Amino acid sequence: MAHVAVLANINGNFPALIKALERIEELKEEGYEIEKYYILGNITGTFPYPREIVKSVKSLIKNSSVKIIRGEYDQIIAQAERPDYIDSLGIPGYLRRALKYTWEKLGHEGREFIRDIPIYLVDRIGKNSIFGVYGSPLNPFEGRVLPEQPTSYYEAIMRPVKDYEILLVSSPKYPVNAMTRYGRVVCPGSIGLPPGREHRATFALIDVSTLHTKFVEVEYDKKIIEERIRNEGLPAELVKILYHGRV
């Protein structure tokens, strides 16, 4: 059974990423042939493990077939020549502090790695062409695709890239698998950024032959992340996001 693993919204959450990768290895042992990985943006972001994330992703690239695109927070890091740039953005103060922390901890080499990540993903799954973007096809970073919408909504989202069989997006953070007359819209969910209170690290497996999409959930220990947030002196709002999905 040949599959691709699709991950998104790691968001600097290293414990969640490790649990997801461990589960993928278990799936391989269970007979799933996972021939490549897609990572659809926001490898960095709110939570305080930027260096560990970059090191892990580099290792994944070295040992597997991996394609990565930027997310909205990756884009901010890529654009910031200095951390002062982040202060100029119209985003909440707690997020500015988190992203400045990420900028500083990544160092020059880590920031260069982020700057080298492309914005769009164009590839093939078996005989099917795919298009991937963090936000939406017409607005790669600020665009949003909503979960649990009627088919007509996803047809409108898919229309600009209707030459592709699958559109992969990250912005809903919730899993989406919507079939339209133009093609399939898939969001793999979120590895590290909780979209709601009861969050498990979630990723997708797509069957190369049939395009059947399966979502896999994995538990991770949030207490470890909470302690890291507090020890690093980061805003208390990040703890609220960790447990509740919002401030």
∠ CA 96-76-197, nearest 5°, is: 60
Distance CA 241, CA 73 (A): 16
Strand stretches in the chain, DSSP E: 2-7, 33-40, 66-69, 121-125, 128-133, 166-169, 175-179, 184-188, 201-207, 213-218
pLDDT digits (tens, 9 = 90+) for 3-40: 999 999 999 999 999 999 999 999 999 999 998 999 99
pLDDT digits (tens, 9 = 90+) for 42-55: 999 999 999 999 99
- Indicate the pTM of the whole model: 0.95
Q: Please give the residue range of the domain that contains residue 207.
A: 2-122+190-244
Residue 216 bridge partners (DSSP): 203
| 176 located within any domain | no
| 133 located within any domain | no
| 170 located within any domain | no
CATH number, position 25: 3.60.21.10
Residue whose entry in the numeric block shows the structure tokens 């002196």: 233
| 94 located within any domain | yes
Is residue 64 predicted with pLDDT exceeding 90?
no
Residue 126 — very low, low, confident or very high, per pLDDT cuts 50/70/90?
confident
Residue 27 in contact with residue 82, Cβ under 8 Å?
A: no
Distance CA 163, CA 128 (A): 10
Domains held by the chain: number? 1
Distance CA 117, CA 103 (A): 15
| 161 located within any domain | no
Give mean pLDDT, residues 135-143: 96
| 77 located within any domain | yes
| 103 located within any domain | yes
Distance CA 48, CA 217 (A): 22
Residue 5 in contact with residue 205, Cβ under 8 Å?
A: yes
| 179 located within any domain | no
Residue 39 bridge partners (DSSP): 7, 68
Residue whose entry in the numeric block shows the structure tokens 């953070």: 173
Distance CA 223, CA 134 (A): 28
The pLDDT assigned to 197 comes to 87
